[in-house]
Structure formats: C-alpha cells, structure tokens
Amino acid sequence: MAVIELEDIEKQYVVRTRAGLFRRERQIVQAVSAVNLQVNKGEMVAYVGPNGAGKSSTIKMITGILQPDGGRIQVLGMEPMRQRVQLTRKLGVVFGTRSQLWIDLPLQDSFALLRHLYRVEETRFKRNLDELVDRLDLSTFLDRPVRQLSLGQRMRGELAAAFLHDPDLVVLDEPTVGLDVVAKYAVRSFLADINREYGTTVLLTTHDLDDVEQLCERLVIIDEGRVVLDGSLGDFKARFGFERIVVVDLEAAVEPLEIDGVDVVERNGPRQHLRFDRRERSATDVLAAVAAQHSIRDVSIAEPTIEELIHRFYLE
Amino acid sequence: MADVRGGLRAAGYLAAAQVRSDWQYRSAFLLAFAVQAIVALANVVAILIVLELTPSLGGWSRGQVLLAYSLVGLTFGLADALFSALEDTGEMTRTGDMDRVLLRPVGSIAQIVGRNFQLRRIGKLVPPIVAFVWAVPRVDIDWGLWTVGYLMVTVVSATAIFAGLWVVSGAVGFVAVGVRRFSHSITYGGQQASEYPLHLYPRWVRLVYGWVVPLAFVAYLPVIVLTAAPNPLGIPRWLGYCAPLVALALCGAARLAWGAGTRRYQSTGR
Ligand SMILES: Nc1ncnc2c1ncn2[C@@H]1O[C@H](COP(=O)(O)OP(=O)(O)OP(=O)(O)O)[C@@H](O)[C@H]1O
Ligand SMILES: [Mg+2]
C-alpha cells in the first residue's frame, strides 16, 4: 500500500527582492519541479540533496503545511492540506532545526499537552511514554524545561514527541543535524528499531550520509527541485563506488605524479591524493608505480564517502 | 459539533500551558499583572468621568449614548479577549511558527487563540460593565422576556461580528506580513467608531464602519430598537433584527478567508 504518493508535484515561491529604494521586484523560485515519489508501507527512505534542493519544501507539502502549486498528492490516502486535521493525527514530524516542544515547560508537560492535542487515551499514552522514555533514555531530564536541554537531549525529546500517538508515517527533516556521534547513534538505532518492530513508514532528509548508510535501503536524490535518482544504496554504490583514492606521503614536495590512469586530485606539500578506477588498476599496482619514481613514507587508502559520490553525481 | 468541542478543549489546554510558561518568569508575570490591575482601576476612574461628562448627542440621551457605548465595549471586549491573539498570525508567518500549528490535529484558529491567550485582556470588560449598569436605569426599556432575549441575542451576534473581524484580519497576516496596523484599523478602529451614534459621522465613515464593516448591527440599531432612540438617518427598523444573520454571514466569510490564507502560507526557508 502506498503511504506517500506524489505525482508531478510542483512548488514555487514568490520572492520579492529590493530593486531600488521603493521598487520591489517579483521573482519566482521554482523549489520543486515535477517530483514523483511513491513510498510504501514499512519503507524507510532517505531523501537527500544539496542545500536548497527542495527537500524541506517537499516535506512541508507532504505534511500539509504548504499547498502544492501543481500535481497530485496523497498521504495515507488523504489530501494533506484539505484533510489536515485527520492526517496529522496519524503523522509524526520532526524538524531538526525547529522545536515542536514547549520551550519553557518541562519536557513531560509537552508530552502531556501533545496527548490532549492528539487525543491519545490515558492508558495508551502511559504505555507509549514509558516505552519511549526507556528507549530514548529520557528519564534523567523529563522534568527539566526544554530550553535547558542540550541539543542531543532535546532531539531525543522531539523524537519521543513524534511517536507518542503511534503514527503510521513519520517524517524527519534533518533529525541528526548538529548532533555528536553518540547522539546520532541513539537517533539512528531508535528509528531502525521502531521501523523494524512496528513497521512504521519513515521518510527522512539528511546531509549525513552515514544516516543513509545505516538506516535506509532506499535513497532518493533531489537536485534543483528534481528527483535525479531513486534506487537502493547498493545500486548507487555499484554505479558510482568504483573510484579509489590512495593518499601517499612522499619524502619531499614534488610536482604532481604522472602515472597512467591516475589523477592527482589534491596536493598538499609532500602529500598527494591519487584517484584511480579500481576496475582498471589495483592499489598495489599504483603504489608500485609511485615507488618507482619516489620513495614513499606513508600510505593510506580512502574509499570516497557517499557524499563525494553524490557530489560528483550532481556535477555530471 | 464534536469538532468545535475538541477545538475548545485543545485551546483550553494550550492556554493553561501558556500561563504556566509565563509563570516561569515569575517577576515579569507578576509585574504585568500589577500593571493590568492599575490599568483596570484607571479605566474605572476614566469611565466615571465619562459618565459625568457625557452629553446627549444628536438627539440621543446620555443613557442611550452610554448604552451603545457599553454594548460595543462589552462585545468588543469579549471578542478581543478570546480572538485578538489572531493578530499574531502575521508574526507567526514571518517566523515560520505557523508550521507547528499546522502540524497538529486541531483547528488552527483554536490553537493560535489558546497558544497566545492572555488573561489580562479580560480587564477591558470592566468599564463597559460599569457603563451598562449605569445606563440601564436611565433609558426607557420595556423590560420583559422579549427585550432580555433581544439583548442576549444582540450580545452574542455582536461578539461574533467582532470575532469574525479578528479572524479576517488574522487571515490577511498569512499573506501580507506587516499588516498589523491595517488590521487594527478594522478591529480597534471599528470599536472606536461605533462608540458614538452613527448619525454623528460623515457619510463615508457611516458607510465604512456602519455597513461595509457591519458595526451598525452591534449597538446603533439595537439601541434604536430597544429604546426607541431617534433615528435621523431613517434606517428601516427591521434591519435592527438582522444582527444574527449578519454575524453568520460574516463568520462564514471569515472562515473562507482563513482557509484561503492558510493555502497561501509560504512558511520559511529554514
Ligand atoms: N518560504 C520560502 N520563501 C521563499 N523561498 C523559499 C522558501 N522556502 C524555501 N525557499 C527556496 O526554495 C528552494 C528550496 O528550499 P528547501 O528549503 O526546500 O531546500 P532544502 O533541500 O530543504 O535545503 P537545505 O538542505 O538547505 O535544508 C531554495 O531555493 C529556497 O531558497
Ligand atoms: Mg531543508
């Protein structure tokens, strides 16, 4: 069953820019162009793209905050803007850069308020809250005002808030932004567990590709408002993950090395970054060629990060 | 109907949360409270002076003038206490706080009203109540079931008319962010314009604040119907019975305007 269905979705913003003292110019920003996306029940999908690609705009249309300017949109079988109240009852939303909690109230008061807004019955609420407190380890700061929480603590609170009412779909816009490794790990394992145990559908945006690697089977890449790739991370890597980078530290700073089938992508004093295609040459092969010209002090082999791969993908 | 009740309940919880949040900053909260008490007291003094000084105006007796004044003050005060939080729509649009409101399964008006609720606005009701108590024995009303009923329907309709104006002016905030002043000219401007008998004003004011913004139905026509006050403009008396219809129409239009505003909401780039 399709939980999210977007067909040729469009979104434009009207921006007024200053063009002189009194004159203001109207400009249309095309944020989302003809986006098609179908997410099925139980899927966990990463929605990735560079800054300004249109990720948040898409999410705001899915969650009923923004009205699309064209196309067809169905979420949990409903039309988000028109059936906002019904839809949001089954929706959990986290915005990494904007709190959904009451900043001056203790965390548990926010939860109690949300219980009323979502009309979660008392026993179910208690059960869910206990479980969330346990999974997200909230017990030590439940009674502290949200404004006093660290970013990592707050984000765990935000996650709990999004799951209190047993949502069928959870949408997260950069849930790991600004978190340290430990907090990121906590967020990821929580999402993975919930998705596995309850089959909750999850759509998340991120700039941290470890999130994608560790959480999502499916990757949707958007750039300049258009979906440019929709597939599995495995496919993506098979297609673009054949590059290797060898970093060599030589005895001295020398001219860029000249070796067949190898590009010097970065040079930093005696350190050079050599890029090659692992289908054509092996690393030992490349190193032998380097050693034939200069003496080598140290070597490391780097697999390009998915971020670099996607970046190159954008450039093509 | 369940919808309305749910909205009311949610607004109640949000308002309570707001008060608790304010209470986090105790001294500011108490100071604001003290200031409000002083303002309310000053208002009572002011209204006592007004009662002393009010002349008869344009053929209306002091009692009639003050009855109209108190009806406007009472109904505007009620609508203001409950709905004036909607003037924050523009600010919430600018900061993107409206996102949060739209993400929750409760009507957006109920949430904004609850979230921005301020108990102190009730203080505005004190002067009109004093004026009402003063005016009633000084006008010639044939008290009975019918007049009491008419007065009650008038108060409810007039409150709904002012509430509708707040909703309309809030809806504008979704689109044009810096319109607080314009909105105020409808709401507060309307209140001030309708404190005096309509026939004292030049034609264009009567047109704007009597009929376009339909405030003739709030106090002017009811006082004519209730106390047989002079009607130099020759307005048909049956219009004095149309307040509920006008209120319904205005609230319907306000609802549509609110929906249209929501659909044009652009959020922020963050
Ligand atoms: N409320 C708005 N008003 C005007 N323009 C906007 C608004 N929101 C977004 N935009 C513009 O629309 C485009 C897409 O923005 P969006 O926020 O959807 O990108 P994003 O993929 O979420 O980026 P990021 O990774 O930086 O969060 C950008 O060019 C942005 O400037
Ligand atoms: Mg974004």
* Residue from A145, A142, A154, A146 nearest A97 by CA: A154
Ligand 1 binding pocket mutation candidate from A17, A57, A61, A204 (most atoms within 8 A of CB)? A57
Radius of gyration of the CA atoms of chain B, in A: 20
Report how far residue A185's alpha carbon sits from residue A191's, in angstroms, rounded to the nearest whole number. 10
Structure-block tokens of residue A191:
């999402």
* Residue from A175, A177, A207 nearest A191 by CA: A175
Structure-block tokens of residue B180:
């607080």
H helix or E strand, kind and range, residue A188: helix A181-198
CB A170 within 8 A of CB A162: yes
Nearest-10 Cα torsion for B82, B91, B109, B157: 40
CATH of domain A2-238: 3.40.50.300
- According to the model, what pLDDT value does residue A242 have? 73
Asked casually if ipTM beats, i.e. exceeds, 0.90, the reply is no
φ, ψ of residue A119 to 5 degrees: the values are 50, 55
> Which percentage of chain B shows pLDDT scores above 90?
40
- Point out the residue among A87, A88, A145 whose CB comes nearest to the CB of B24: A145
**B2 pLDDT more than 60:** no
- Strand-pairing partners, residue A98, are A95
Is the model more confident about B16 or about A185?
Answer: A185
Among the CATH numbers 3.30.70, 1.10.1760, 3.30.2020, 3.40.50, which is that of A242-315? Answer: 3.30.70
- According to the model, what pLDDT value does residue B261 have? 93
- According to the model, what pLDDT value does residue B178 have? 64
- According to the model, what pLDDT value does residue B158 have? 96
Reported as half-sphere exposure (CB side, CA atoms, 13 A), residue B264 has a value of: 16
The per-type count for chain A, helices as H runs and strands as E runs, is: 10, 13
Report how far residue A211's alpha carbon sits from residue A208's, in angstroms, rounded to the nearest whole number. 6
Beta strand A91-95 with A169-173 is parallel
Query: Among A167-171, B36-40, B212-216, which range has the highest average pLDDT?
Result: A167-171
Say yes or no: do domains A2-238 and A242-315 share a fold.
Answer: no
Q: What is the mean pLDDT of chain A?
A: 90
Q: Render pLDDT for B62-110 as a digit per residue (tens, 0 to 9).
A: 889 889 989 999 999 999 888 988 988 888 988 888 999 999 999 999 9
| pTM of the entire predicted model | 0.84
Report how far residue B221's alpha carbon sits from residue B239's, in angstroms, rounded to the nearest whole number. 7
Report how far residue B261's alpha carbon sits from residue B259's, in angstroms, rounded to the nearest whole number. 5
* Residue from B151, B144, B107, B147 nearest B14 by CA: B107
* Alpha-helix runs per DSSP H in chain B: 2-23, 26-53, 62-83, 89-95, 98-102, 108-115, 126-135, 145-175, 180-193, 203-206, 220-227, 243-264
The residues of chain A scoring below 70 in pLDDT are 19-21, 239-241, 303-307, 310-311, 313-316
Q: Do A100 and B103 touch (CB under 8 A)?
A: yes
- According to the model, what pLDDT value does residue B109 have? 93
CB A38 within 8 A of CB A6: yes
Cα–chain-centroid distance for residue A214?
12
End-to-end CA distance of chain B: 37
Interface of B with A in 91-120 (CB under 8 A): 96, 98-100, 102-107
CB A47 within 8 A of CB B246: no
Q: Do B263 and A13 touch (CB under 8 A)?
A: no
Q: Which residues line ligand 1 (CB under 6 A)?
A: A 13, 15, 29, 31, 49, 51-57; B 266-269
H helix or E strand, kind and range, residue A10: strand A2-18
H helix or E strand, kind and range, residue A128: helix A122-136
Report how far residue B242's alpha carbon sits from residue A259's, in angstroms, rounded to the nearest whole number. 92
**B1 pLDDT more than 60:** no
Structure-block tokens of residue B123:
């203080």
CB A30 within 8 A of CB A194: no
> In chain A, where are the structural domains located?
2-238, 242-315
Q: Which amino acid is at A264?
A: V
* Residue from A182, A174, A219 nearest A45 by CA: A219
Report how far residue A54's alpha carbon sits from residue A222's, in angstroms, rounded to the nearest whole number. 7
Q: Do B270 and A97 touch (CB under 8 A)?
A: yes
Report how far residue A102's alpha carbon sits from residue A145's, in angstroms, rounded to the nearest whole number. 8
Q: What separation in Å is there between the alpha carbon of B91 and the centre of ligand 2?
A: 21
Q: Render pLDDT for A260-309 as a digit per residue (tens, 0 to 9).
A: 888 888 888 899 999 888 788 888 888 888 888 888 999 988 766 666 77
Mean pLDDT confidence for B188-193 = 82
- Strand-pairing partners, residue A28, are A14
> Which percentage of chain B shows pLDDT scores above 70?
94
Angle at B47 between CA B41 and CA B51, to 5 degrees: 150
Quick one: DSSP state of residue B141? -
For B137, counting Cβ atoms within 10 Å of its Cβ (0-12 exposed, 13-18 middle, 19+ buried), the class is exposed
Question: Which residues on A lie below 8 Å from B100 (Cβ)?
Answer: 98, 100
φ, ψ of residue A101 to 5 degrees: the values are -100, 170
- According to the model, what pLDDT value does residue A165 have? 96
